[in-house]
Amino acid sequence: MKAYVFPGQGAQFEGMGHDLYDQSNEARELFEQANDILGYGITDVMFEGSAEDLKATRITQPAIFLHSIITAKLAGEGFRPDMVAGHSLGEFSALVAAGALNFADGLRLVQQRALAMQQACDLEPGTMAAILGQEDETVEEVCASIDGVVIPANYNSPGQLVISGTLAGVQAVVDHFTEAGAKAIMLPVGGAFHSPLMQPAQDQLESAIEKTDFSRPSCPVYQNISAQPETDPEQIQRNLIKQLTGPVRWTQTMQRMLADGVTEFIEVGGTGKVLQGLVKKIDRRFPTSKLEVL
Active site residues: 88, 194
Q: Which helix (H) or strand (E) holds 162?
A: strand 160-166
Close Cβ partners of 292 (under 8 Å, ≥ 6 residues apart): none
Task: Map residue 41 onto helix, strand or coil.
Answer: coil
Q: Are 116 and 162 in contact (CB under 8 A)?
A: no
Classify residue 181 by burial, with Cβ atoms within 10 Å: 0-12, 13-18, 19+: exposed
d(CA 165, CA 162): 10
Q: Are 189 and 63 in contact (CB under 8 A)?
A: no
User: CA-based diameter of the chain, in Å?
Assistant: 56
Question: What is the phi/psi pair of residue 154, to 5°?
Answer: -130, 110
Contacts 24+ apart (CB under 8 A), 216-220: 216/100, 217/84, 217/95, 217/98, 217/99, 217/100, 218/81, 218/98, 218/99, 219/81, 219/82, 219/83, 219/84, 219/98, 220/83, 220/84, 220/260
Q: Are 95 and 239 in contact (CB under 8 A)?
A: no
Task: Map residue 86 onto helix, strand or coil.
Answer: strand
Close Cβ partners of 31 (under 8 Å, ≥ 6 residues apart): 17, 20, 21, 43, 66, 70
